Amino acid sequence: MTATAPPVGEPDRTQPRNTPASPAAARLLRLLPAAVAALCGVLLYVSFPPRTLWWLALPAFAGLGWALRGRGWKAGLGLGYLFGLGFLLPLLVWTGVEVGPGPWLALAAIEAVFVALVGAGVAVVSRLPGWPLWAAALWTAGEAARARVPFEGFPWGKIAFGQADGLFLPLAAVGGTPVLGFAVVLCGFGLHEAVRAAVRARRTGRIRRSAAAAALLSVAVPVLGALAARPLVSSEAEDGTATVAVIQGNVPRAGLDFNAQRRAVLDYHARETERLAAEVRAGKADRPDFVLWPENSSDIDPFANADARAVIDRAARAIGAPISVGGVVERDGKLLNEQILWDPAKGPVDTYDKRQIQPFGEYLPLRSLIGAINDEWTSMVSQDFSRGTEPGVFTMAGTEVGLVTCYEAAFDWAVRSEVTDGAQLISVPSNNATFDRSEMTYQQLAMSRVRAVEHSRTVTVPVTSGVSAIIMPDGRITQKTGMFVADSLVQEVPLRSSQTPATRLGVAPEIVLVLVAAGGLGWAVAAGVRGRRAGGV
């Protein structure tokens, strides 16, 4: 009688198992995969900024591979959810800094569902030849879905954003965050398969060449690809240089009530600009070609408030350069998170309205339902912001500066659109004052470093309360401020106009990887159906 292989996606019950010494040991053994999945999720979190332990992502995915391989889809769903919670709960704790644990726990629980679905898929494809490839593509597909739904997505925590200090970073220039993240996950799953092949060879004295080759390629190809991509990363000037000033005015105090301090915040940024102007006149600082203020640096509408307009005018004339001012503006009945190009002689001459606005922060989905649950939440977002529709590229002293406002930096399309619209430099004006001294600002700074390499552009990050920074096109931070201090950064930076493969390809690499994931899943399901039919004969 010929033994048949178990259907793909079902547990393999044909392998001999060691009988535990006691029922207690058996229970502990059954809990081990769950514990490993959750702990590996925590390990993945530890690999993210502000720590520089990017390499911990590899054993995190190796451990997840051990927990999922050979299991059924239901077990994969549960183990994936535990992995997702272990990763996202600590990563997103900053979302509850000012509003309490409810929204934080809800967000992490919902986002972990995407990881659970990926876990189910990985378990199903784990019996296929070369399974790390299909599994890594499934992870990319899960990130693609999470970046789009619900409420237009939440890409925070993409694997690429934890790799700003890592070996694999040059791959961002090849295919953006999907390719960078795919390479890391593939290498992690391949590491598990390599260890597994080595243990089997030591135990049996035989090497399965196909499995060993797949494991070796899963590890080697991402590493070699990253090394081969290094020539794409450069900080050389292509269109000359510009001297930029980044202003961090600080806020009187952290928290959601910083909005009640709007005039103080505006005054702080004007005062820091005027202080820099005095240093320029004294020869202690270089004269900037243009100045960048953060998001919400003028929450008093300067188009409607003559006093606010006078404050900005005075600062612009003092520094003698155009300023990009982050304002909250009401126009035609719409509330807009707007960047305003302020000329020292002409005043406001151009605007950019934030396009990717933040759910539950800048607008409230399901307002009536949420109000029925907790009316305090609806009062926090009393009026929804409206969305802009056009890319924002300001011409500032002859330099094309692309604006990507805060939350937008997490979205691939939002950054790419500024570069394809002609940006020679990217600015990410942000306001992190509502998140106190949490890790949020460091996580967002890492995103900007990845974007710098992805599109080969200098990236500036002006923030109300820190950490503001200047980032070279190779991802290096050359200057940065502390948190909750008033400061300014002035530097001559390279301007570039060439496009990386990632910029030119846009969403294409992500689509290819999603199709690979679908192909692997379809193959596994079809193989499982054939296996069940054969087993029933």
Instruction: Supply the pLDDT for residue 7.
Output: 53
Active site amino acids: 295, 354, 406
Residue for token pair 């960048």: 292
Helix, strand, coil percentages, rounded to 5, for the chain: 55, 15, 35
> Peptide bond preceding 467: is omega within 30 degrees of 0, i.e. cis?
yes
pLDDT in tens, 45-69: 999 999 999 999 999 999 999 999 9
Distance of CA 121 to the CA centre of its chain: 23
Instruction: Supply the pLDDT for residue 128.
Output: 95
Distance CA 355, CA 530 (A): 48
Which two structure tokens, joined as six digits, stand for 322? Answer: 């155009």
pLDDT in tens, the chain (537 residues): 444 445 554 555 444 445 555 777 777 778 899 999 999 999 999 999 999 999 999 999 999 999 999 999 999 999 999 999 999 999 999 998 877 888 899 999 999 999 999 999 999 999 999 999 999 999 999 999 999 999 999 999 999 999 999 999 999 999 999 999 999 999 999 999 999 988 888 888 888 888 888 899 999 999 999 999 999 999 999 999 999 999 999 988 654 454 456 788 999 999 999 999 999 999 999 999 999 999 999 989 999 999 999 999 999 999 999 999 999 999 998 999 999 999 999 999 999 999 999 998 888 888 877 777 766 667 777 788 999 999 999 999 999 999 999 999 999 999 999 999 999 999 999 998 888 889 999 999 999 999 999 999 999 999 999 899 999 999 999 999 999 999 999 999 999 999 999 999 999 999 999 999 999 999 999 987 777 777 654
Distance CA 318, CA 320 (A): 6
506, amino acid identity: G
For the chain, what percent of residues have pLDDT higher than 70?
Answer: 93
Which helix H or strand E contains 527, and what residues bound it? helix 508-536
DSSP string, 459-511: EEE-BSSS--EEE-TTS-EEEE--SS--EEEEEEEE------HHHHHTTHHHH
Its pTM stands at: 0.91
Distance of CA 106 to the CA centre of its chain: 19
Distance CA 336, CA 321 (A): 25
Instruction: Supply the pLDDT for residue 322.
Output: 98
Instruction: Supply the pLDDT for residue 96.
Output: 86
